[in-house]
A and B are shown apart, each in its own frame.
Chain A
Amino acid sequence: MEFAELIKTPRADNVVLHRPFYLAVEGTLCLTGHHLIFSSRRQDNAEELWLLHSNIDSIEKRFVGSLGTIIIKCKDLRIIQLDIPGMEECLNIASSIEALSTLDSVTLMYPFFYRPMFEIVEDGWRSFLPDQEFELLSSVTDEWRLSCINKEFCVCPSYPPVVVVPKSIDDEALRKVAMFRHGSRFPVLSYYHKKNGMVMMRSSQPLTGTNGRRCKEDEKLINATLRPGKRGYIIDTRSLNVAQQARAKGGGFEQEAHYPQWRRIHKCIERFNILQESLIKLVEACNDQSHNMDRWLSKLEASNWLTHIKEILTAACLAAQCIDREGASVLVHGTEGTDSTLQVTSLAQIILDPRCRTIRGFESLVVREWLQAGHPFQQRCAQSAYSNSKQKLEAPVFLLFLDCVWQILRQFPCSFEFNEQFLIMLFEHAYASQFGTFLGNNENERSKLKLPQKTMSLWSWVNRSEELSKFQNPLFEANSLVIWPSVAPQSLQLWEGVFLRWNRPSKFLDEAHEEMINIIKYNKELQAKVNALRRQLAEMETDDRMQENL
């Protein structure tokens, strides 16, 4: 297919762009296969706006006489308005945008066409390979092994080719366990807590069904992670009720009788359309410019967004607490083990593991616990808060995770190497990107699409010093401790950087951030100067002394 077929009017002049907190600008609008480009013709202040079609969530058109107006709502929650003279041009442009922003085929997406303009220092596709991660693990314990059982994705389509499992469990047993778990997602290692050797595993629900089926290998597998005489916790991310209902559909939960060494805790984390609706309501409230103080709070409350944040964080803290405080191993699962499960396991690691609070470590966490673990990004992030179509698969699961990280970052502003911008950047790229990293729903699909060969990795771009400097937290001082966030309502806040980003003036906050950076920069400069002088003095003094001795 040629994109040109979809573009009936590639260019329109005298278009006026409206954005909140900016003066309206007049300029030229161009459509290309992947971008909407607006450039102002003002000589003093040439300005260009590039918008990926895939970033567009929905568009609306309006006409007053022959002046058409297109309102574009983006997945990054920005809303812009374009006034386009000429009804035909406007209609053409609107229909082109609509078509180009809803392309069916993944291979038509921009990452397959994007050619990087920067020098590639490190191929991001090879930055976080499972073998490297396993090497780190095997330096502290020999109780685990890498299994290639899922080579060619034949056992579990949503798992990566290699997974980490207890050494004592052979591949044959794994195959049996896979049959007993929803979507074949058998329990695998998610995190090893060096401090006390406790582990966190994740899986999907067991297929016990109504007649209480059991699987000896499954029991053996998870028991293999327990120390003699110790007990573990199973954190089920569904309410007991939901878990019981799942039995009717062949799913279920671990029966105490069959797993006597494990205690099950149910923490209810919502999924799918409940989350999507929550996002839609929240963004609606944030964009509503008319309400008074009271209605704002009640709308914030009615969106339930912060309630979801609280639930997810609480479950993650609980998992971390079981591991670090109780000295117990933990298995986390919900139904499929691709959404709430990953929220819990990845957040627990941020709480427990200082490495996950560094930039590199966090990237590695996103790769391990989200991309390789098979979170279906393409389905979940197909639409954002402005979508009209009611599809069942969209849900802001990853955004909720990032929001939870931001909440912890806010409570521990000096313990993270990255800043808020880094999290916002990940949110943007999960929904629309020039990079192939978040395309596809799992490693299987990514390998079929040949993404590593045909597209650029987000990490190749981010991990260059020019980009990294934007994402570094000036307050960071490495902190090797476990960090326990507060989950009280008073401690949780709306993530303004994302939800109010486009409708609040940020000048004063930006200035404050700049000031912060300057204070620290000046301090570092002085330290360097003092050290240099000290060294110089020391040298001169030794010279002196040598002369003296002569």
Chain B
Amino acid sequence: VENVRLLDRLSSRKAALGTLYLTATHVIFVENVSETRKETWVLHSQISSIEKQATTATGCPLLIRCKNFQVIQLVIPQERDCHDVYISLIRLARPVKYEELYCFSFNPKLDKEEREQGWKLVDLNEEYNRMGIPNNYWQISDINRDYGVCDSYPTELYVPKSATAHIIVGSSKFRSRRRFPALSYYCKDNNASICRSSQPLSGFSARCLEDEQMLQAIRKANPGSDFIYVVDTRPKLNAMANRAAGKGYENEDNYSNIKFQFIGIENIHVMRNSLQKMLEVCELKSPSMSDFLWGLENSGWLKHIKAIMDAGIFIAKAVAEEGVSVLVHCSDGWDRTAQVCSVASLLLDPYYRTMKGFMVLVEKDWVSFGHKFNHRYGNLDGDPKEISPVMDQFIECVWQLMEQFPCAFEFNERFLIHIQHHIYSCQFGNFLCNSQKERRELKIQERTYSLWAHLWKNRANYLNPLYRSDHGQTQGTLRPQMAPCNFLYKFWSGMYNRFEKGLHPRQSVTDYLMAVKEETQQLEEELEVLGERLANLQKSQLNDDKVKSKQQDRSKQLGLSTSDNSLANTPQEYSNDLKSFPSRSPSQGDEEDSALILTQDNLKSSDPDLSANSDQESGVEDLSCRSPSGGGCLPSEDSGKDSDEAVYLAV
């Protein structure tokens, strides 16, 4: 469709005229302005809602909201075209078969071997070995090898040695969806462990001997402690309501030596509504400070994040400080339980705070244990009530920790944002389906690529420059402040307003430091080369033998890098005639990243920032729209009504 206008959310005066293309996988908007040809790419799978608004004199507006928090506003001149686009997008954004998803057509030009290697990057057996398992207390169980006991669990599970097949099967029959207690994390220093399951089918009085034996076996696997914590991550009221349906929670009287604890994390429906409310605040047009803070509070989002963190902190403390094992469950044990177990693991084990370790953690607590990615993130058309930002919340918890412990994580914010993007993108096979069983049936590993390999290949972009493996902050357990330091939890504009570049700090400390570190490395190399040359020269002078060094040119080149850096840090100038762009800016990095995975059909597809907004100068333009650039229109109190004049002018 031609002559479509892409509106700028911050200012309705500024709209880009261009052409809209629909392909099998993307919506593409190409600007008409010939020298830039700015392109905006949106994956169909990222589209969360499409809204057709009332036709105006200028055309028919179409509002596209994306799951990665991008909002795109288009105005299409012809109502009929708009309707066609709308209908097509509705269909394209809601595929009904897995085979329609992008990952089945996405081809990053890797051969079969590379693809297999990619899938092998994260190996969970290796991970359990790293924890020190199997050992005297824990063993691998193949009881679920054909998904016969529990179809949402993986085939390989780790259970206490003393838990016989009889106990496991018995316990599984007493648990929702047969998700019996299995090992999530083991602390080899003190034998304490984190296990996870679903709720027991206890109703008001039912009990199950095998289930009780199962918990007993978990306790015995930690000889240092005479009890275990059973943590129900639901609010007490919710758990009690479940009893009426024959489910519920453990009765302390029936289980020997357990301490039972509720931690009130709300359910997926509350979380979905909370995010919705927060996004409405993010979308407000020039909100006042009060609108923003009030809306943020009203959404309850940060309160929920804190509840998840507090649960993780409680468990980490039990394991690290008290040496007590913990069994965690919620209702089905695949949402809140996954959040809480992974936050606790992250706090406990520095390995999970490395890039590789984080991939392993996601693979372990989310992918293998049957977090329902397809339902939660709406990859296929399904029940909208199943959709909920469960993983988004976990990712935000990690970010909040990164803010409090700036040196503790090997990866940076961009890493988290890109993982969030790919949970929804369906470009890689990792997060497809609802369980390992479904993924195996679809032969995901043979037909799609692994995200982890892609991220690993570009890991230089995701490094935190402040991370040092021998730094004090990277060692041991992280101990974040519990209540009452609520002010530690902050709004993450880097995520929820990530496409409004004008709102973010204009200079990135991370990128600056990465550039410095890169230069440092070059300097180290040069120092070595120069040292050698000096030694040679001294030798040759002694021998009265002149050897012209060929390295001279090279060192000159390296020398230039110093001045490059000072130039590179030139921040954005907000005039429109600016042509150069700071090479230390984050979007530049993204472009390089995405350039590595250009597809054969020249679909510049995959990378989040690029597909969303390939124009490097967007940051510049964002702001230039804030200054009333010419037009002879003088801002004064009379023109106060025209709030688009300049953001600064808005009364």
Docked-complex contact A481 and B648, CB < 8 angstroms? no
Q: Which B residues are in CB contact (< 8 Å) with A298? A: 293-294, 297
Size category of the A interface is 35 or more
Q: Is B388 an interface residue (CB 8 A)?
A: no
Docked-complex contact B571 and A479, CB < 8 angstroms? yes
| Minimal Cβ-Cβ distance residue in B for A499 | B487
- Given the interface contacts A321-B646, A523-B516, does A286 sit within 8 Å of B505 by beta carbon? no
Q: Which B residues are in CB contact (< 8 Å) with A12? A: none
Residue among A477, A484, A504 making CB contact with B488, cutoff 8 Å = A504
Q: Is A23 an interface residue (CB 8 A)?
A: no
Docked-complex contact A511 and B571, CB < 8 angstroms? no
Within B304-346, which residues are at the interface with A (CB < 8 Å)? 306
Docked-complex contact A534 and B559, CB < 8 angstroms? yes
Residue among B289, B509, B520, B634 making CB contact with A306, cutoff 8 Å = B289
Task: Give Cα distance in the complex from A291 to B405, angstroms.
Answer: 23
Q: Is A73 an interface residue (CB 8 A)?
A: no
Q: Which A residues are in CB contact (< 8 Å) with B288? A: 307, 310, 489
Docked-complex contact A491 and B504, CB < 8 angstroms? yes
- Given the interface contacts A266-B637, A306-B289, A515-B468, does A488 sit within 8 Å of B647 by beta carbon? yes
Q: Is B42 an interface residue (CB 8 A)?
A: no
Q: Which B residues are in CB contact (< 8 Å) with A489? A: 287-289, 291-293
Docked-complex contact A516 and B513, CB < 8 angstroms? yes
Task: Give Cα distance in the complex from A351 to B250, angstroms.
Answer: 62
Docked-complex contact B481 and A504, CB < 8 angstroms? yes
Q: Which B residues are in CB contact (< 8 Å) with A75? A: none
Dominant SS at the A interface? helix
State the Cβ distance, A517 to closest chain B Cβ, in Å.
11
Residue among A233, A325, A483, A534 making CB contact with B555, cutoff 8 Å = A534
Interface flags for A506-539 (1: CB within 8 Å of B; 0: not) read: 0011011001100110110011011001101100
Q: Is B57 an interface residue (CB 8 A)?
A: no
Q: Which of B43-51, B529-537, B589-597 is the contact stretch? A: B529-537
Q: Is B608 an interface residue (CB 8 A)?
A: no
Q: Which B residues are in CB contact (< 8 Å) with A306? A: 289, 293
Within B244-296, which residues are at the interface with A (CB < 8 Å)? 282, 286-294, 296
Docked-complex contact B530 and A534, CB < 8 angstroms? yes
Q: Which B residues are in CB contact (< 8 Å) with A450? A: none
Docked-complex contact A509 and B406, CB < 8 angstroms? yes
Task: Give Cα distance in the complex from A310 to B286, angstroms.
Answer: 12
Task: Give Cα distance in the complex from A317 to B647, angstroms.
Answer: 10
Docked-complex contact A291 and B486, CB < 8 angstroms? yes
Q: Is B443 an interface residue (CB 8 A)?
A: no
Size category of the B interface is 35 or more
State the Cβ distance, A509 to closest chain B Cβ, in Å.
7
Docked-complex contact B491 and A490, CB < 8 angstroms? yes
State the Cβ distance, A505 to closest chain B Cβ, in Å.
6
Residue among B566, B573, B648 making CB contact with A477, cutoff 8 Å = B566
Task: Give Cα distance in the complex from A508 to B408, angstroms.
Answer: 9
Q: Is B574 an interface residue (CB 8 A)?
A: yes
Q: Which B residues are in CB contact (< 8 Å) with A300? A: 293, 487
Residue among A307, A504, A533 making CB contact with B531, cutoff 8 Å = A533
Q: Which of B210-218, B234-242, B362-370, B621-629 is the contact stretch? A: B621-629
Q: Is A105 an interface residue (CB 8 A)?
A: no
- Given the interface contacts A263-B636, A292-B303, A415-B571, does A512 sit within 8 Å of B623 by beta carbon? no
Docked-complex contact A413 and B509, CB < 8 angstroms? yes
Q: Which B residues are in CB contact (< 8 Å) with A233? A: 634, 636
Task: Give Cα distance in the complex from A382 to B457, angstroms.
Answer: 59
Interface flags for A470-495 (1: CB within 8 Å of B; 0: not) read: 00000101010111111111111110
Given A293-B486, A523-B520, 16 additional A-B pairs, CB 8 A: A288-B484, A290-B484, A300-B487, A304-B289, A479-B571, A481-B570, A483-B506, A488-B500, A494-B487, A504-B487, A520-B516, A527-B562, A534-B530, A537-B534, A540-B534, A540-B541
